[in-house]
Chains A and B, each alone.
Chain A
Amino acid sequence: MINQKKLDRVLKRVERPARYIGMEQNSVSKDLEKVKVKFAFSFPDIYDVGMSHLGLHILYNLINEEEDFLCERVFAPWTDMEEEMRHENLPLFTLESKEEVRNFDFLGFTLQYEMSYTNILNILDLSKIPLLSKDRTDEDPFVLAGGPCAYNPEPIADFIDFFIIGEGEEVTIEILQVYKEHKEGNWNREEFLKSIAKIQGVYVPKFYDIVYKEDGTIKERITLIEGVPSKIDKRMIKDLDSMFSPEKMIVPFIETVHDRVSMEIFRGCTHGCRFCQAGMIYRPIREKSVDKIVELADKLVESTGYENVSLSSLSSCDYSELYLLITKLMEKFEEKKVGVSLPSLRLDSFSIDILKEIEKVRKSGLTFAPEAGSQRLRDVINKGITEEDLVNTVSYVFKEGWSTIKLYFMVGLPTETDEDVMGIKDLAYKVKDMFFDLPKEERKGNLKVTASASCFVPKPFTPFQWVGQESMDEFYRKIYLVKNSIKDNKVTFNYHDPKLSYLEAIIARGDRRISKLILRAWEKGCKFDGWSEHFKYDTWIETLKELDMDGDFYALRNRSLEENLPWDFINPGVSKEYLIREYKRSIEEQTTPDCRDKCRGCGIKGCTMIGGENN
């Protein structure tokens, strides 16, 4: 255990000290001496953000169900805490037992966004664990990583001992089991890595090497030892109902980003939006049954005392029995004053009845994501919603009394023209006009339309994985085009920093050489890059120059379909042929309808959608 006197001194001086004390409702306390495998789970951002991550609650409870295993949490300390810890020479500790992270067997990171990678290094450094995988010895924990960004593991391959590709519920336990056996027998770091490298979904970067061509692209990948797979297949849970689902979740003392019960209702998505990585990598679609969800929701409300249940998924309105589910939940919870909320609504499948049901309890602002301003561009990205969908929905919600509408867009999408960009303004104005077209006595509240634009970042395993990102100058020009055209105090226009998106694009489609960039940038003080007040763009650019690396090579370059991509060795289930087909269709402005109606042949196994050809 760390020095408690030091911790006390430090806690007195920092903002929101409850971030660092643990002890919340439903957190575990196990005897460190009695458990056989100690796993430290880390979300590489501050507590307030990390605690809102559903995956944490699942894996935490899953591991702790096992008597021999222990899972504790560690987050990135906020800068004030880091300063105090370094000042007192206090190593990073887990929240539950206040034990040094380096005394655990595993330190597992969840990779939710690329701009958290410098925080991984900061966490390793504060834990006094060697930053590079090759420098770690038998005394050090294994450092692993999983989550959506692990689908391109290469940019942080130097820091991570092994990756988990795909869904972690089963494979994590398998790995810990193997570890337990190894520890009881003849223990050796290398041998352990060799044996888990054979488990489906596990990727150990040190067993592979990359040969580059003169132009900087990849010539080939070499497998360095025998018996490890050359292609890594993702892991996937077959049946969500029989899968482990937590019946309790940790209730933070302090207010976090999502302060409510969060429940997964299905995995996967059938829409096939071409910019969306989650829509590809989480296939196939698998639903939890209504009964199971209601049963779990009830238990979670009981064990947490929360007054709101949020039904989470990639597109909640797609749940096949949504109306039944909502009715049952409302029936159960109305008396208890528990509200139900549905994030990720889409305009197309928006059900007015559902909205009416939910509205009985609480009425908040509504958010829609048309993603692109014109129909042409929405066709290119395969966002299957029309202006008519928007008009119908918005006119309904205005009549029902909503008056705060948020619209999400992207700029810099493939084939985008100025006309498409100006569509953002047109849509926002259209929404405004619809409000004022209502007779005065029917308008309720004070209208507020917010249009937000983020800068498109092409991601691996999407049909746009070959596309070059828009240049920074173009991003700014387009953003100002919209910004300067909006002159109405009811309509607000926000945009994301193109500089951050440029860095994100470099890392998202980076290869192994990007590890050096991240390490050097961290050494020069970069951390919390996702937080605008901490993002040091100039330092990143300086680091690129210092290392003689070309950021544009990664971010802006159009790849040919034949190029060996750094993440090609990962098999996400969806075939490359499908991605190519979708890419070509996008250029032709051809849409591909939802695969609930007809199978589009994406190659995923185990799909139970109507007409799925691979059942």
Chain B
Amino acid sequence: MILRVTFCKKNYLRYIGHLDLMRLFHRSFNRAKIPLKYSEGFNPHPKFSIAHPLSLGIESEEEYMDIDLDYMAVDEFMEKMNEVLPDDIQITKAIYLKKEESIASLISWAFYEINFDIIKDKSKEEIEDIINTWLCKEEIMITKLKKKGKKKIERQENIKNLIGNIVLKEINHNNVIIDTLIKAGDNGNLKPTNLMEALNRDTTLNIDMDSITIKRLGLYAEKDKNIYKPL
């Protein structure tokens, strides 16, 4: 049976990369004695997958993982897992799927909170104006580096359609917090760091790039123009 769970990844544990997180879960399943299903073959692997892995250094309130296991009550699963997991990585929800649909293919949007300092104080209106004008541009280009063997190829990409919205959430002197919904997954993907680089390059916001802290608030699926949570 497939159990779909959400979990958070906070504080210092945002510095653990995706592969290390997979190993952490694997060991935690062992310690919590979760009846995982294993792949067949010479070197059997437990069957679980995490959707749209976070980049190193980004916190998250809500990540998704599908786990293939023999039935175990949801409450018991959560209790056992949260006991062995670190405080900053905890399972927040778990539901058995009625219809199997891979979590990775479902995700198409990611919602982020981005906190940063600007070099010179600006008013709320000024900042909103700068952002909205920027979003109205016909194209917003970024440069992507693509590795082809040893060669690195630069490629230009218009990200305008990958940005859902940017909302100014809070401003306190030179500290700014925005929320942004951007594309994620196989059908268009934008990294929040690339978004910030482009915003800083094209506008007069003057962002202290070292101060940027990113938190993922959630991941979303889309069906018939409706955006919804996959759990």
Contact = CB atoms under 8 A, between A and B. Distances in A.
B interface, by DSSP: helix, strand, loop or mixed?
helix
A430 to B, nearest CB: 30
Interface of A: 8-9, 11-13, 17-18, 21-23, 25, 251, 253-255, 302-307, 336-337
B57 A12 contact: yes
Contacts, number: 55
Given A21-B13, A251-B27, A254-B20, 11 more contacts: A12-B210, A13-B210, A17-B57, A21-B12, A21-B15, A23-B13, A25-B86, A255-B23, A305-B26, A305-B29, A305-B84
B15 to A, nearest CB: 4
B88 interface: yes
Interface string B1-41: 00000000000110111011001101111110000001000
B149 interface: no
A9 B210 contact: yes
A337 B31 contact: no
A304 B15 contact: no
Contacts of B15: 11, 17-18, 21
A304 B19 CA distance: 18
A456 B80 CA distance: 52
12 contacts: A9-B210, A9-B211, A12-B210, A17-B56, A18-B16, A22-B12, A251-B27, A255-B23, A303-B31, A305-B29, A306-B27, A306-B30
Given A17-B15, A18-B17, A305 B31 contact: yes
A305 B28 CA distance: 6
Interface residues of B, number: 25
Contacts of B17: 18, 254
A305 B27 CA distance: 4
A253 B16 contact: yes
A25 B27 contact: yes
B26 A23 contact: no
B53 to A, nearest CB: 15
A495 to B, nearest CB: 28
A255 B20 CA distance: 7
A252 to B, nearest CB: 9
Contact of B20 (A18, A22, A336): A18
Contacts of B26: 305
Contacts of B210: 9, 12-13
Lowest 3 CB-CB distances: which A-B pairs, in order?
A305-B27, A17-B15, A305-B30
B104 to A, nearest CB: 23
Contacts of A25: 27, 84, 86
Interface in B61-86: 84, 86
A25 B16 CA distance: 13
Nearest to B212: A12
Given A23-B12, A23-B13, A11 B57 contact: yes
A355 to B, nearest CB: 18
A359 to B, nearest CB: 13
Contacts of A23: 12-13, 86, 88
A91 B30 CA distance: 38
A415 B47 CA distance: 57
Nearest to A363: B42
A304 B88 contact: no
B20 A253 contact: yes
Residue from A12, A302, A304 with most neighbouring chain B CB atoms (10 Å): A12
Contacts of A303: 31
Nearest to B88: A23
